[in-house]
Structure formats: C-alpha cells, structure tokens
C-alpha cells in the first residue's frame, strides 16, 4: 500500500487539527505511505463543504455511516465529541478500516473495552491520538528515559491547568455536561497528564483521587436560565506506579493565568526532567555533573531531536499543530510496516481504567486499585 | 522593657541563623526593644565558646537548665534538634521566659500540646520560627491575599524538593532517624509548605497522605555497617481546607537538581501567585487585566514591600538569613507591645496535628480529618 | 480579483517556508483573495518537480524568465539567494506582476534602488518579506507602541545571535562569500533586528558600526583546501534614531548556545517590552503600575492578539512558519484592497542604506549618517 | 598582625554596606586577620553616633583628617561620594594606612592617578571596592574562564539598567551633578559593567561611546525651581579588547522595570556565560555537549562555589551585601599575606581611563584609544 484514502469524521477544533496534519505530513515529512484526503464528514452540509474546501479534502459528506462503509476509504479518523467515538469506531472497524481516534477513546471503561474488542476482532490497525507524546521535547524525554539517563524513576509530578471557566457566568457548554463529555477536567486535561505518566514512567497501580466542582450552576447556552454542572472543575490524584515510583496529577480549569499549562517533572536516581506545554520547544534537563550542575534548557529544535529534521534549522520553533502531524506520520509508518502504532486502543482502555479508579476513589475516599 | 537579654540554646545550623538575626536586627531594622546577646549554650564547651566569640554573644555555657533559669535572661531561643524542644521550652516557660522555638515545635502532637499548655500556664509570650513566612515576597503574597486581590482561594499547590540524599551511600544522619527527627521529609520540609498553606489559605480540614522511603538502609556515620532508615524520604498529601479550597503538598529529598525548591502556587477566583524559594526575591503575580494579562514577576525589593525599607534600594537582593532577622524583628515588636506574635505554639500544635493526620492517612489508606 | 496565481522562484529553505505559507493561508485564515499555487521554479528539474509535488504547486519549471513572463501568473514570489533578487524582481515588475521578495531586498543599495524604481515605474504592488514583524508577539508590541502605551521611546536594544559557525572547520558555504551573500551576520541576521528597530521605533539617523571576522579562512565545500571568508562573523552598531531614541544592534554567528536568539528590548517613558524569538509566543511587558509592578509574560496566543484568531485556543503555541503565513495573508489583503503592503521595497532600500552606513562607519571609524 | 583597627569614613548607603561587611566577616568567614570596628566618621555628629551604635563601631567622629591620622587606625575605608575620595585616600596613604576605597576611585583620571601615586609612594596596601566581582556566581564565571572552559573569548555584552529617574519630576540629586558625581550612568553603573569586562575578558583597547541626557532640567531638591542636569542619563559604548574580543556596554537609568539589572553575556569559542544581578545567585552556563546541550542554570550556592562554604547549605540564597563581605574578606587575606589585593588603585586608574575615552569618543564621534 503506498497510498491510503482518509475519511475524517468531525470538523470542529480537533477536525481542523487532524486535517492540518494530513495535509502537512507529506509536505514536510516523508511518510512511507501517502495519505489522500478523500472525504470529510460533518452534520451540517454547508459547514462540511466549507471544511472540505478549506482543509483540502476532496469531498464532503454528512452521514458518517455511509462514509465509514465506503470501499474507497482506508482510514477513518474520528474527531467527534467523546460520546460518539464508540459507535463510529466500532462501525469503522467492522468495515475493515484502520481506525484513528482522538482522545479520550470513550466516556466509560465499558465503551472503551468494546471498541478495543471491535478492532481486535476485525484485525484492523488502530491508534489513539494523544498528540503531546509527539512534541519533540516530550519525545526527547522519552528517549532519555528509555536510554537510562534518569536512572530509576522515583517521582512523576504532572499538572494540566487552564482558566477558561473561572468566570462563574461562563456558560454551561457541552464540555460541562457529564452525558456528553463523560467528565470535566479529569477526562479532558488530567487524562493528558496521565497518558504522559504511563508513557514516560509506566503503568499506574493505584490512586487516591479528589474531584471538586467549584461552580455548580451556570447559564445555559440558549439563554434560558441556569443549569447544573455535573462534571468536575478540578481533579487531583496521588499515584503509585507498578515500578515503585510515586506521583501526583492534577487537572483544573480554575487557575487564572494558566492557559494551557501541561507541565510535568520527573525525578529519577540520576537526573530530572521538566516540560511545560506553554514552552513546548524546551525540555529542562538535570544531570548530576559535579560542582557546576544545573537544570539545562534544551531547545528541542536540532535535527537530532525527534521529528525535527523534517522542519527548520535549530532555534526555529514548532507549534501546537505539529504534534498532530507527527502522530499522523507515525500512523502512516505503522500502516506502511503493518504493525500496531502506539498509543492505541489498548492504551485507551488503560487510561479509561485509571480515570475510573480516580472517580471511584473520590467516592470511597480510599485508595483504589486501577 | 527597652532591652531584652537573649539566651540561645544550640550552636549548629539553626544556631548560626538565629544568632545572625539577633545581631543584624538592630543594625538594620528599628526594633522597639533592643536584644542583648547574653549567652549561647552548647554541649561542647569549646564549640560554645567559639560560637559566643564569633556570633557575638557575651558569654557561653554548656548546661541549658542553668541558662534558662538565669534571672538575667529574658528570652530563650531554642535551636536544638526537635527531640529536645519540649523539655527546654517547658523549662523556659516555667522560668517565666519568652520562648522562641525553631520549627518543628516538637516531634509529636503530645509534646507540642504539652509545650503549648506550659507557655499558656506560665503566661509567657511564645513564638515558633517558621522563617519563610517573612521572606518579603511571601509576606507580600499574604498582604495581597488578605486584601482580597486573589478573590476566593481555590487551589494551593506546594512542593518542597531537595536532593541531598539521592545517593544511596549518603550516611544515615540524625535527620534519618525517627527517634531523633520525628519524621523525614514530612516534618523537615513538607511542614514548611504546610505552614505556608495554613498561613496563606487557612486551616486544613482533612488529608490523604502518602509516605515513601526509597532507600531503606544506609551506611552508619561511625563507619560500622549499615542501619535502617525509619523515616520517609518523600511525603505527599492531598488537602481539603476548611474554606473550601483544595490542594496538595509534597516534600521530597529525592529530586536531583532541586536544592531548596520550596515552591507554592495559589489560584483564586481573581488571580494567582507563584513563589519559589530558589528565587526568593520574586513573586509571580497574575491578575486578570484584559487582553494583555500575564504572570508578572514582582521583584519584592521595593521599600513598599514588607520588611524591605530596612535594607537596600530596589533591585538589591536579600538572602536566606534575612527571613530570620525579620522573624526576630516581629518577635521584638510583639514583646514591645506585649502581644502574642505569630506563628506561635498554637500554630505549632496545629501543624503537628496535620503531620499526624498525614501519617495516619498513610497507614489507613483513607482520608483522615486533622 | 478573487484569485491570484502565484509563481514561486526558489525551492530551498525560504522556498519551503513561503510555499507553506501559500498553502496554509487559505486553510486557516480568510484572505479576501485566494492564492492559487500555480508554478514553482528551480534550477534542477527533478528537484523542482519534487518541490511542486510535495509543496502543492500545480507545476514546476526551471527557467525563471519564462515563468515571470507567463500571462497566467499574477504574483511572483522571489525566494532565491540575495544576489539574484534584483534581476528576477525587476523582470517580474516589468511583466506587470505583484512582486513579493524575501529579505534582503538586494546585496547593495544600488540594486535595491533599481528594484524600487522598477516596481514604481511598473505600478505594481510590492512587498518585502521580513517575516518576524508578523509573529503575534511582535505585532502586539507594535500595537502597544502605536497606542502610546510605552510613551516616548528612549532605547532599542537588539541582538540576533546564532552559533552555527563557531567551529573553525565549518565549511565556507555561500553565506560566507561576499559575492553571493553581500555580507555576513550584518545582512543575514542583524538586518532583521534593524528592520524591527525601524518598524517599532522609527527611522535610523546615524550609526557607529563595527564588523569583525574571527575565522578568516575555512575549508572549501568541495573539499579542496581552504578559502577566505570575506564577510563579517559579527556586526555591532550603535544607533541614533530620528525620534531621539538611541540604541544598539548586534548580529553574531559566534555565540555558543544561541540558536536563533533574535531578541529586542525597548524602553519608553512609560514602560518596556522584551521579545525573544526562541520564546516567540511570549512578549514581556512592563508598565509602571505602582508597588507591585513587574515584567509580565504575555502569552500572545489569545484570540485578541494579532493573527491568533485564525489558529487555536489560548495557550496553544504557534511556530516559526506561521510568521510567513501571516505575511502572505497581509499581502493578499493588500492585493484585495489594491494598496501597498508593508514592509515593501521602500523599506528594503531604507534597510540597505542602514547596512551600508554601518559598513562605511566600520571603515571610517566614525559615526556615519544613514 | 592578627587584628586591624578599621576607620570608616561615610555613613550613608555605602557606609552601611561596608560596615555590615566588617561586622559579618568574622561571624561567618575565617579571615586570617580580625577586623576591629574602631571608629566611624560622618559630618553630622548625631548621625555619626547613631551609625556607630547601630553598625557596631566603637566610637564616632566628625573630622576625617583626625581620624585618618590616628595611630590606632590601621585601615581607612572610604565610603564618601566620589568627589572626596582623592583627598581622603591620599591623606590616609600618607599616614601609612591601608586604604580601602569604594568605587569609583575618583571623578577624573588625574585624581585617580594622584591617588595611585600616593599609595605607591607610601608603600601601603590599597584596594578598590568593585563588589560585584565577588558575587559567588561572578567569581565562578571568573574561575571557569581562567580554567579555559570558554576557550577564546569573542564577545562581552554588558548592560546595567535602572529606572529610578524615568520620572522627569524626580529631583536633581547629587548623582545628577557633574561637579559631585563626575558623570551619570557612565561612572555610576556602566563602570561596574566595564570593571567586570576588564576582570573577565581583559584590557580594553578602544571604544566608540555615546552619551545621552534625556531630561535636561529637573526640580531642585530644596524646592526652588529647576536646575540643569549636566551628566549622562545613558551611556553606550562599543569595545575592542586587547585580546581580540569585541563587545558592548551600556548603562542607563531610563529603563522602566529594570531595578538593578547588571547583566553580562560572554561568548567564547567553547561556551557562553550569562549573569544577571537581579538573579545574582545564578550563573547560566552553556557548553557544547552534543545533541542535548543547553544553557544550564547553575545555582551558585554549593560549598564548592567561591565564598559559599562560609554560609549556608545548597539552595540557600545570598544577597547584595554578601558581595561586600567577600571583598572585605579578601582584603583581610591580602593584609594577612602582605600582598596587594585586586581590584586596587591601578584598576581604578585603568577604569577611569576607559570612562575618559568614552567621554572623548562621544565628543569626537570617533573611536578613541583608551
């Protein structure tokens, strides 16, 4: 296979990010398999048509069931809200398509498990899009850890902080409804930090979680009064990893000044790493190097750094959307080699189980096994 | 009273810091009561004599019982290891002295309570030295919070990270023995972060704690084999405050590159604050100020900032030991006004109860009330 | 005109950056005129064909003279080395095309003047690509200055530091040959800082310049011995602006650790601004705001910030190539409104005169008027 | 000599800093010679008496001529404004005293030369107090450079920026009068950066200087109208060093937000260093170390760092006044070993000649040899 036809379901925020990745990957990187942007599917026909035109898809459609069944579609890219992932992904798998799904995989453990069962039953390749793994600085962190440069890992300290709902009159958008979003800060942002924890440190064994909703009623979007907020505004958890490391993760949307502050610090027996998404081209690295040791700021823009050779000379920054392009690149490489990429639906199930344990722990007020 | 005679018990690290404060306070600040550095007391006569000579005390002594009983002593400053605080402080209180005690107040809740009972029974003034409250940037944070600039507080996020025992062959010093130190990172450094949490946010209602010891045996200091480490290397806790805020605190001695990283971040409904002891002259402040908001780095060295007018022009940094000088200044002001300074032994008891709840929670694996 | 056909001359580093801009501008922004990527022209036919395929041009060509004469070409985008700009741009102007030219406009004042004369004689629109003006944080700086937020400007302090030729065995590439590159750090990087100085502060009246070449011979690229370096490794200059401000600009390729450190600081009577290209999403802003003033770090990623609404939510970073996309957007807006964009060839002449004055000053060892 | 009696002339800002150094040096460091704080001399008897009492001098005086002639005085410490340094220091030298003089050595080259002649004629030890050389991070920079860690030095880039006279209604204090202060930003703050340039890089061969006064009239301090400002508000200079390095230095009091921003960057063939006085415990160090190189932030608070072992454990910051304590320590060491400390009056003459060359260059608008 030297070309694959891609159908993308969803046209909003994540749709734009994924479409950009499909468009850019061939211009800059050299994927072994070329993606053809075949069709984009959205509920509103006009919006879908505009999306196709601007984002570079050959055509648009409104019925995802028809799209995933098309014989000229090889890859289905699911970019819709989380409550629809299971249905679309399972249908795509049953139609024999490669399934690429935006995180969260699903809103519940049950859904996630059924999705994993579907892709495995169908024998199709599957990938979950946790894009931050492929920021070059994060991939560099992974490379250093795998090479043993940090020694034995002792601590993971992750936060993902935002401030977009600090105002109590910010409306109750769909992300604040449990029925649609599954959870609040927990699944939306803490899940990113938990994904990086699993990626960089290893499996999480048990958690002690705490969920809080500071503003419990908000104006409805249609202007008719106020409605309840039934998801968490903030989620905190202590962690014990299977490898013996300990840690903490926090997601909150109530941190003024923190726009997209996805930060982690990892301490091992031989060194430490610090990453902050708001300075995503940098990795701070500490190694014990005698009297003049110190945290160094590595600008992860050299051609030796992961994914960078495709882009610009040293010191020329990459941005948010490049993380998706790198993810799509690795998906195409996996397709080319006919092997399973990571993270995939197994990881999606694993993360969902961690989120579930945190919710259980918040309810029981005890440590809970994952 | 326009002068007070000070007796200091202990000559090591904290002794040097306290002695410096007594010496410097009159040179730079204008205390209403002048301290006279009367006598310093240490176990070793030669060391005590040298301390007196270099640090500026009039004389030295070796028997603390005699010293605290001297009629020409007004203030007893306790700078010994934590397991001796109770006995000395109680004796000093019973002798009618003002008692100034280095943190931790004691190694157990019971000891702390008996110390508080003693000073209250004796009717003497008492103060606990939690010096970091009086770094100008921290005092500025307190002033901002008290003025309502942060609005309602939602999050406290404190870490105190060091790296001095990462090497498994670092010896088992007294700070690693429960019998002498009471606990490890918990009482030594996490307690600072918990003190700041209480100071800046309010009383802690309940905790979910986790203690870990990574290296469970270390070389004995006398060279004869290895001995057990029975204190925690790292202590983490989730917090619920009485005011409704939530938070986390962590202390660890296993974070390579973190030398004295006592950092907190506070998020309120109107703004955020960040402090890091390794840049102790700076307070990072966020207020929502429209389109061009951002965290500002306030260099807390203007004469309008707390304690600064005594020192140098703007932009001239203060150091670690100044925090003790400011503490002693406020003790002298309290003596001059005959009122109880803060933090005092009541705070010491309160913190000890938080530490105790964390230890209980680690054992029961549940949330515990303080 | 609702569409323009674009011909791009040059396929290397700048070719990739410009092609990306033409491809992305319509996907994310909403230009009033849509660009059609008609043809890319390069010397090597195979390379040109590959470029067309990957970068998204409809066809490729190898003879720029034919290309600029094509009736179906509306805009000629010149991305070749500086010594060829004049010939191509003049031919394009004479053919009635809109001319978009990568900086430097030319290698000499004479060439630049003849290019300006050509476009003005032909009555065609022209634009010079100084992309950094359109980093959102820089555009925000411009907006603040124009709004008077800095008051009267007193100081401009610009450096553009790199380290790619510190190694004396790095070969003598074309950028180190005066015949091809015109000058060294002066025209390549200091010129960026001088462009920002003119953009943000105003016209430069006189200069005192200093040029230095640290390594005067380097290995030839073809492996045959060493050849002379006849351009500057570093260029420094003091500046007097017409408005009364003073300043300095430095470009150097001999600063280990500085990868792409294009930094400026501007001090006015009411505030200060600091920008660093290696953290290009941030603008540091100081305004006197009473006791708790401080430099604030504005993350220029809000929808209210220049160019940002086209992209992602707050806190999602943009990268290097976005600056070109914004430049192309403004060119398309200018074409749509039939007005001259900035910077244009007049600015190119003005900058070239500043560079020339610096070279003269280095020779005469005196201040020289621009 | 195991003790020296110190007489300090001057009681204001610098008097407080020097007195503190004499008081603290013995408490923390172990000088081979103990200083005895014999007498402090000030014009106003009451102020002098208070200074003696608070700062720890045994007695006070008002006639510096008598003081420097006293047989029981070994060291004369000159902390008065610059226009009085020559007379006092020469008298002290003629009386056979060790002379310790705050910078600037004098207001003119002529005065400085006569002071040097006097101390050399008298055969007394002499030292100039350029305190920033002895910030541990700066001393560490010096140690690294001397050890060859930076290779051949190419660039020195120094600024010393403040903002205390941005307001045009700030009064015309003595520092703004040429007759008393000698010059403005040039001698007051740029001189610090030039001293560090000489200290860290080597002798300055020639300069191209620029002086500017933005506000030429200010309110008189006594309230009676406005008077002329006849010193520079800002001073900039390009530098050529004898060793072949090039550089720039700027001092300005018109940079809002810059409180005490004494910053330098040094680039050598093997690495780079950055220091900023507003974060004076840190040295940023770059060495080429392969793919993951980066500027590291060395917290210069380890016992292996210069001067630090006298103070606190790692991560405990030092402040502004410690630089004076270290200077006094080295003076006492020099006295103990009967050798000339650095910087001394020869350095004072050398710096004065650089300042003079900058002023000449500003007048002639040409490069001037030092």
Adjacent-strand bridge partners of B296: B285, C296
Instruction: Please tell me whether residues D87 and D212 are part of one structural domain.
Output: no
pLDDT of residue B120: 98
Are residues D365 and C366, on separate chains, in Cβ contact within 8 Å? yes
Q: Report the gap between the CA of D282 and the closest CA in chain B (Å).
A: 9
pLDDT of residue A291: 80
Size of interface A-B (CB pairs under 8 A): 111
pLDDT of residue A289: 87
B70 to B3, B51, B64: CA distances (angstroms) = 16, 20, 10
CA distance D139 to D133: 6
Residue B206 lies inside a defined structural domain of this protein: yes
pLDDT of residue B222: 82
Span B111-167, pLDDT tens digits: 999 999 999 999 999 999 999 999 999 999 999 999 999 999 999 999 999 999 999
Chosen for mutation from A216, A257, A271 (greatest number of chain B CBs closer than 10 Å) is A257
Q: Determine which helix (DSSP H) or strand (DSSP E) holds D136, and give its type and residue range.
A: helix D136-146
Are residues B159 and A157, on separate chains, in Cβ contact within 8 Å? yes
Residue D96 lies inside a defined structural domain of this protein: yes
Instruction: Please tell me whether residues D125 and D140 are part of one structural domain.
Output: no
Instruction: Please tell me whether residues B96 and B155 are part of one structural domain.
Output: no
Q: Hey, what are A336's tokens? A: 């080319």
Are residues D279 and B280, on separate chains, in Cβ contact within 8 Å? no
Span B65-92, pLDDT tens digits: 999 999 999 999 999 988 999 999 999 9
Task: From C132, C153, C171, give the residue that closes a domain.
Answer: C132
pLDDT of residue C291: 80
| Whole-complex ipTM | 0.96
Pick from A65, A17, A15, A59: which is nearest to A37 by CA? Answer: A59
Instruction: Please tell me whether residues B122 and B171 are part of one structural domain.
Output: no
Q: Report the gap between the CA of C294 and the closest CA in chain B (Å).
A: 5
| Closest residue in chain B to residue C143, using alpha carbons only | B292
Q: Report the gap between the CA of A87 and the closest CA in chain B (Å).
A: 37
Chosen for mutation from B31, B163, B167, B320 (greatest number of chain D CBs closer than 10 Å) is B320
| Closest residue in chain B to residue A285, using alpha carbons only | B257
Residue A333 lies inside a defined structural domain of this protein: no
Q: Given CB atoms, is B272 within the 8 Å cutoff of chain A? A: yes
Instruction: Please tell me whether residues B236 and B297 are part of one structural domain.
Output: yes
- CATH code for the domain in which residue D257 is found: 3.30.360.10
Using a 10 angstrom Cβ sphere, with 0-12 exposed, 13-18 middle and 19 or more buried, the burial of residue B289 is middle
pLDDT of residue C223: 76
Percent of chain B with pLDDT over 90: 96
Are residues C320 and A318, on separate chains, in Cβ contact within 8 Å? yes
Is 80 exceeded by the pLDDT of residue D263?
yes
The helix/strand/coil state of D156 is strand
| Closest residue in chain D to residue C206, using alpha carbons only | D365
Chosen for mutation from D246, D263, D296 (greatest number of chain C CBs closer than 10 Å) is D246
Q: Given CB atoms, is C261 within the 8 Å cutoff of chain A? A: yes
The helix/strand/coil state of D29 is coil
Instruction: Please tell me whether residues B91 and B218 are part of one structural domain.
Output: no
**Cβ pair C259, A301 in contact under 8 A:** yes
CA distance C184 to C178: 7
- CATH code for the domain in which residue C79 is found: 3.40.50.720
Q: Hey, what are C95's tokens? A: 């053919």
A210, A248, A365 member nearest B246 (Cβ):
A210
Task: From C101, C132, C163, give the residue that closes a domain.
Answer: C132
Is 80 exceeded by the pLDDT of residue B181?
yes
Are residues D278 and B56, on separate chains, in Cβ contact within 8 Å? no
CA distance C142 to C153: 12
pLDDT of residue D275: 98
Q: Given CB atoms, is C265 within the 8 Å cutoff of chain B? A: no
CA atoms within 13 A on the CB side of B117: 8
Banded pLDDT at B1 (limits 50, 70, 90): low
Span B247-295, pLDDT tens digits: 999 999 999 999 999 999 999 999 999 999 999 999 999 999 888 999 9
CA distance B31 to B1: 12
The helix/strand/coil state of C249 is strand
Q: The pTM is what?
A: 0.97
pLDDT of residue C290: 84
CA distance B15 to B27: 19
What lies within 8 Å, CB to CB, of D18 at 6+ separation is D8, D10, D77, D79, D100, D102, D129, D324, D328
Q: Given CB atoms, is B89 within the 8 Å cutoff of chain C? A: no
User: Looking at residue D20, what DSSP letter applies?
Assistant: H
Q: Determine which helix (DSSP H) or strand (DSSP E) holds B40, and give its type and residue range.
A: strand B34-41
Residue B160 lies inside a defined structural domain of this protein: yes
Q: Rg (Cα) of chain A, in Å, rounded?
A: 21
Q: Phi/psi of residue C128, each to 5°?
A: -105, 135
Are residues C56 and A259, on separate chains, in Cβ contact within 8 Å? no
Instruction: Please tell me whether residues B114 and B157 are part of one structural domain.
Output: no
Span A16-60, pLDDT tens digits: 999 999 999 999 999 999 999 999 999 999 999 999 999 999 999
Tell me the average pLDDT of chain D.
97
| Closest residue in chain A to residue B212, using alpha carbons only | A246
Residue B47 lies inside a defined structural domain of this protein: yes
End-to-end Cα, chain C, rounded Å: 39
Q: Given CB atoms, is C161 within the 8 Å cutoff of chain A? A: no
Q: Given CB atoms, is B302 within the 8 Å cutoff of chain C? A: yes
Residue A326 lies inside a defined structural domain of this protein: no
Is 80 exceeded by the pLDDT of residue A223?
no
**Cβ pair D62, D42 in contact under 8 A:** yes
pLDDT of residue B301: 97
Range(s) of the domain holding residue C52: 3-132
End-to-end Cα, chain A, rounded Å: 39
User: Mean pLDDT across the stretch A238-250?
Assistant: 98
Q: Hey, what are B58's tokens? A: 């009039």
Span D302-355, pLDDT tens digits: 999 999 999 999 999 999 999 999 999 999 999 999 999 999 999 999 999 999
User: Mean pLDDT across the stretch B39-55?
Assistant: 96
Q: B302 to chain C: which residues are within 8 Å by CB?
A: 291
B154, B255, B365 member nearest A254 (Cβ):
B154
Q: Hey, what are C351's tokens? A: 């900058």
Q: Given CB atoms, is D34 within the 8 Å cutoff of chain B? A: no
CA distance B301 to A215: 37
Instruction: Please tell me whether residues A33 and A118 are part of one structural domain.
Output: yes
CA distance C84 to C346: 18
Chosen for mutation from A57, A164, A315, A323 (greatest number of chain C CBs closer than 10 Å) is A315
Span B8-33, pLDDT tens digits: 999 999 999 999 999 999 999 999 99
Instruction: Please tell me whether residues C122 and C153 are part of one structural domain.
Output: no
Are residues A268 and B256, on separate chains, in Cβ contact within 8 Å? yes
Chains that touch B (3 or more CB pairs under 8 A): A, C, D
User: Looking at residue B202, what DSSP letter applies?
Assistant: -
Q: Using H for helix, E for strand and C for coil, what is the string for chain A?
A: CCEEEEEEECCCHHHHHHHHHHHHHHHHCCCCCEEEEEEEECCCHHHHHHHHHHHCCCEEECCHHHHHHCCCCCEEEECCCHHHHHHHHHHHHHCCCEEEEECCCCCCHHHHHHHHHHHHHHCCCEEEECHHHHCHHHHHHHHHHHCCCCCCEEEEEEEEECCCCCCCCCCCCHHHCHHHHCCCHHHHHHHHHHHHHHHHCCCEEEEEEEEECCCCEEECCCCCCEEECCCCCEEEEEEEECCCCEEEEEEECCCCCCCCEEEEEEEECCEEEEEEHHHCCEEEEEECCCCCCCEEEEECCCCCCCCHHHCCCCCCCCCCCHHHHHHHHHHHHHHHHCCCCCCCHHHHHHHHHHHHHHHHHHHHCECEEC
Q: Hey, what are A254's tokens? A: 């109530």
Span B340-354, pLDDT tens digits: 999 999 999 999 999
- Give the residue ranges of chain C where pLDDT is below 70: 1
Q: Determine which helix (DSSP H) or strand (DSSP E) holds C114, and give its type and residue range.
A: helix C109-122
Q: Given CB atoms, is B254 within the 8 Å cutoff of chain A? A: yes
Are residues B296 and C291, on separate chains, in Cβ contact within 8 Å? no
Residue B333 lies inside a defined structural domain of this protein: no
User: Mean pLDDT across the stretch D218-223?
Assistant: 89
Task: From D77, D105, D130, give the residue that closes a domain.
Answer: D130
Is 90 exceeded by the pLDDT of residue A63?
yes
Other C-beta atoms closer than 10 Å to the C-beta of B6 total: 27
Pick from C253, C262, C255, C238: which is nearest to D156 by CA? Answer: C255
**Omega before D343 within 30 of 0, i.e. cis:** yes
Q: Given CB atoms, is C303 within the 8 Å cutoff of chain B? A: no
CA C353-C354-C357 angle, 5° bins: 85
Instruction: Please tell me whether residues B152 and B121 are part of one structural domain.
Output: no
Instruction: Please tell me whether residues D96 and D143 are part of one structural domain.
Output: no
Provide the number of structural domains found in chain D: 2
pLDDT of residue B253: 98
Percent helix, percent strand, percent coil in chain C, to nearest 5 = 40, 25, 35
User: Mean pLDDT across the stretch D109-121?
Assistant: 98
Instruction: Please tell me whether residues B177 and B310 are part of one structural domain.
Output: yes
Residue B156 lies inside a defined structural domain of this protein: yes
**Cβ pair D126, D101 in contact under 8 A:** yes
pLDDT of residue B173: 94
List the single range of A247-251, B223-227, C215-219, D282-286 with lowest mean pLDDT.
B223-227
């Amino acid at each position: 296979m030297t070309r694959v036809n891609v159908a993308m379901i969803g046209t909003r925020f994540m749709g734009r990010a994924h479409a950009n990745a499909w468009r850019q990957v061939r211009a800059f990187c050299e994927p072994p398999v070329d993606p053809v942007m075949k069709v984009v599917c959205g509920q509103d026909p006009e919006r879908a048509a505009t999306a196709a035109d601007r984002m570079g898809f050959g055509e648009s459609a409104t019925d995802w069931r028809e799209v995933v069944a098309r014989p000229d579609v090889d890859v289905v890219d699911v970019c819709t809200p989380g409550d629809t992932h299971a249905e679309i992904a399972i249908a795509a798998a049953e139609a024999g398509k490669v399934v690429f799904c935006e995180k969260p995989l699903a809103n519940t453990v049950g859904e996630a498990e059924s999705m994993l069962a579907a892709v495995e039953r169908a024998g199709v390749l599957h990938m979950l899009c946790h894009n931050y793994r492929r920021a070059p600085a994060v991939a560099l962190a992974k490379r250093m850890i795998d090479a043993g440069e940090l020694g034995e890992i002792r601590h993971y300290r992750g936060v993902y902080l935002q401030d977009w709902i600090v105002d109590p009159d910010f409306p109750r958008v769909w992300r604040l409804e449990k029925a649609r979003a599954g959870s609040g800060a927990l699944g939306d942002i803490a899940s990113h930090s938990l994904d990086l924890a699993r990626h960089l440190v290893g499996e999480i064994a048990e958690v002690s979680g705490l969920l809080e909703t500071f503003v419990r009623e908000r104006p409805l979007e249609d202007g008719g009064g106020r409605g309840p907020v039934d998801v968490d505004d903030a989620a905190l958890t202590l962690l014990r990893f299977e490898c013996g490391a300990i840690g903490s993760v926090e997601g909150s949307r109530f941190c003024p000044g923190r726009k997209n502050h996805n930060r982690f610090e990892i301490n091992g027996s031989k060194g430490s790493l610090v990453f902050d998404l708001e300075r995503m081209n940098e990795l701070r690295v500490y190694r014990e190097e005698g009297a003049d040791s110190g945290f160094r700021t590595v600008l992860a823009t050299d051609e030796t750094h992961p994914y960078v050779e495709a882009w610009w000379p040293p010191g020329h920054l990459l941005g948010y959307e490049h993380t998706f392009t790198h993810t799509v690149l690795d998906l195409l490489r996996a397709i080319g080699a006919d092997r399973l990429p990571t993270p995939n639906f197994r990881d999606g199930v694993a993360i969902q189980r961690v989120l579930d344990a945190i919710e259980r722990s918040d309810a029981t007020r005890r440590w809970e096994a994952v």
